[in-house]
Amino acid sequence: FKPINDLFGHKAGDDILIQVAMRLRASMDSYSTVCRIGADEFAFLYPMVFSEEAASEKARMLIEILSAPYDVGERTARLSASVGCSLFYSGDETTDILLNKAETALYHAKRSGRGRVVVYTREMEEAAKRVTRIEQALRRAVSAGEVEPHFQPIVDLNTRRTIGFETLARWTDRDLGSVPPNVFIPIAEERGIIGPLSQLVLRKATEAARSWPKDLFLSFNLSPSQLVDQNTGLHILAILDRTGFDPHRLEIEITETGLMNDPASAEKIVADLRRVGIRVSLDDFGTGQSSLGRLREFHFDKLKIDRAFVSSILDDRPSEHIIRAILAMCEGLGMDVVAEGIEEEAQADRLVQFGCAGGQGYLFGKPIDADATLGYLRDSYRGALHAKAI
Task: Please work out, in degrees rounded to the nearest 5, the angle formed at the alpha carbon of residue 36 by the alpha carbons of 31 and 41.
Answer: 115
**According to the model, what pLDDT value does residue 384 have?**
55
Mean pLDDT of 279-297: 75
Element (H, E) at 149: strand 148-156
Mean pLDDT of 14-23: 91
Mean pLDDT of 78-102: 87
For the chain, give the mean pLDDT: 90
Element (H, E) at 154: strand 148-156
CA-CA distance, 59 to 271, in Å (whole number)?
Answer: 42
CA 238 to chain centre: 23
Tell me the fold of 2-120. Answer: Alpha-Beta Plaits (3.30.70)
**According to the model, what pLDDT value does residue 95 have?**
87
**According to the model, what pLDDT value does residue 288 have?**
58
**According to the model, what pLDDT value does residue 1 have?**
66
Residue spans of the domains in the chain: they are 2-120, 131-389
Task: Assign domain 131-389 to its CATH superfamily.
Answer: EAL domain (3.20.20.450)
Across 75-79, 186-190, 364-368, which has the greatest mean pLDDT? 364-368
DSSP type of residue 288: S
**According to the model, what pLDDT value does residue 190 have?**
87
**Lowest-pLDDT range, 240-249, 335-344, 377-386?**
377-386
**According to the model, what pLDDT value does residue 326 have?**
93
Q: Say which amino acid occupies 353.
A: Q
Helices (H), the chain: 2-8, 10-27, 52-67, 95-112, 122-144, 181-190, 194-209, 232-243, 256-260, 263-275, 293-298, 307-310, 317-333, 345-354, 370-389
Residue 349, pLDDT above cutoff 80: yes
CA-CA distance, 284 to 269, in Å (whole number)?
Answer: 19
> pLDDT, tens digit, for every residue of 307-338?
999 999 999 899 999 999 999 999 999 999 99
CA-CA distance, 62 to 199, in Å (whole number)?
Answer: 40
Residue 114 pLDDT class (50, 70, 90 cuts): confident
Beta-bridge mates of residue 336: 302
User: Which residue did the predictor score with more confidence, 289 or 249?
Assistant: 249
Task: Please work out, in degrees rounded to the nearest 5, the angle formed at the alpha carbon of residue 348 by the alpha carbons of 346 and 354.
Answer: 105
**Lowest-pLDDT range, 202-206, 236-240, 256-260?**
256-260
Residue 385 pLDDT class (50, 70, 90 cuts): very low
> For residue 103, with 0-12 CB atoms within 10 Å meaning exposed, 13-18 middle and 19 or more buried, which class applies?
middle
> Contact, 300 vs 279, CB < 8 A?
no
> pLDDT, tens digit, for every residue of 181-234?
999 999 999 899 999 999 999 999 999 999 999 999 999 999 988 998 889 999
**According to the model, what pLDDT value does residue 285 have?**
82
**According to the model, what pLDDT value does residue 219 have?**
98
**According to the model, what pLDDT value does residue 386 have?**
46
CA-CA distance, 253 to 302, in Å (whole number)?
Answer: 9
Residue 86, pLDDT above cutoff 80: yes
> Contact, 168 vs 389, CB < 8 A?
no
pTM of the model: 0.80
**According to the model, what pLDDT value does residue 388 have?**
52
How many CA within 13 A on the CB side of residue 274?
14
Residue 241, pLDDT above cutoff 90: yes
Mean pLDDT of 242-270: 89
